Amino acid sequence: MPQLVHYPRIEVAGEDALIIYLDKVANSATIKKIAQLKNNIANTLGDYVVELVPSYASLLVIFDPLKTDYFAVKKVLRTLLTANTTEMASSQKIIELPVYYSPESGPDLKTLATSAGLSIEDVIKIHQQTIYQVFAIGFAPGFAFLGEVDERIACARLTSPRAKVPKGSVGIADRQTAIYPNESPGGWNLIGLCPQTLFNPNVPPYLTYQVGDNVKFKAITQAEFLELGGEL
């Protein structure tokens, strides 16, 4: 396979889109760089920009090809990539989300613990120990990919996805974790339920987090879960 591995790199994506690859892997430094770049592009290109889609280690820039063109946009992106911009203050905020971990609310908790050679209590403890970062938002409205899950509880996706995953389900897939903001099909290993509404399309700011935010989980009891409005 031919290799094309220098970073950062700008590639054509389509007639109205360029994609910037910042790095091979996603980490907090890359996420921060992407957030900064996203702001700078929005400010510089103004209404030439139709959409900016950050995800892990890349940023897709969709522009209006009838207002500007590929050369102009690429030139601006190159300049912004090399410019010594002042660092944005990074988000120090940690969003804490309550989770009712149990075999009752997390149907894959037992299997995950068994295959990891851990007790259920250990899995719950390890899942709460990490401060995760939002690497990307997509798949479904408000669905945030959080990383990185401790290697000890990382777990491959289910071989056959569930047709219905309940709203608020907390799942693990490989080294990522996420909360399903609404009922949807899904193949992640479910370990608990979060009673909090994360995506509300009717009330601003609509979504609890954005790319780059820090997230932490806190175990709650069944009684607390129900009190917070959770449904079993």
Partner 1 sequence: MNNTDTSHFEVVHPGILTTFQDLGRFGQSHLGLTSGGPADKQAYLWANRLLNNSENCPILEVNFGGLKLIAKTSTTIAVTGANAPLTINGHAKETWRSHQVNADDLIEIGYASEGCRIYLAVFEGFLVEPQFNSVATVIREKVGGTKGTAVAVGELLFYKQTPKQTLYALKAKDIPRYTDPLTVQVVIGYQHALFERGELAKFFSNEYQVSAQCDRMGYRINGPAIQSGISQLLSEGICKGAIQIPPDGQPIILSVDRQTIGGYPKLGSVLSLDLDLLMQSSQGAKIHFEPISIHCAHTRLHLAKAKYQKTKLIKVDQ
For partner 1, the binding residues (CB under 8 A) are 1-2, 4, 11-17, 19, 25-26, 50-60, 62, 65-66, 69-70, 136-143, 145, 182, 199, 201, 206-207, 210-211
Cβ 178 to partner 1, closest distance in Å?
11
Find where tokens 């990307």 sit: 136
Decide whether 117 or 205 has the Cβ nearer to partner 1: 205
Decide whether 5 or 223 has the Cβ nearer to partner 1: 5
Cβ 154 to partner 1, closest distance in Å?
15
Cβ 145 to partner 1, closest distance in Å?
7
Element spanning 122, H or E: helix 120-129
**Tokens in use for 97?**
């989300």
Cβ 117 to partner 1, closest distance in Å?
26
Decide whether 50 or 154 has the Cβ nearer to partner 1: 50
- For CA atoms 97, 101, 107, 112, give the dihedral sign: positive
Decide whether 106 or 181 has the Cβ nearer to partner 1: 181
Cβ 220 to partner 1, closest distance in Å?
26
Decide whether 58 or 214 has the Cβ nearer to partner 1: 58
Distances (CA, A) of 231 to 13, 68, 223: 43, 50, 11
> Which residues neighbour 189 within 8 Å (Cβ) at sequence distance 6 or greater?
108, 111, 112, 155, 157, 158, 171, 172, 173
- DSSP-derived letter for residue 85 is P
Are 18 and 77 spatial neighbours (Cβ–Cβ below 8 Å)? Answer: yes
What amino acid occupies position 111? T
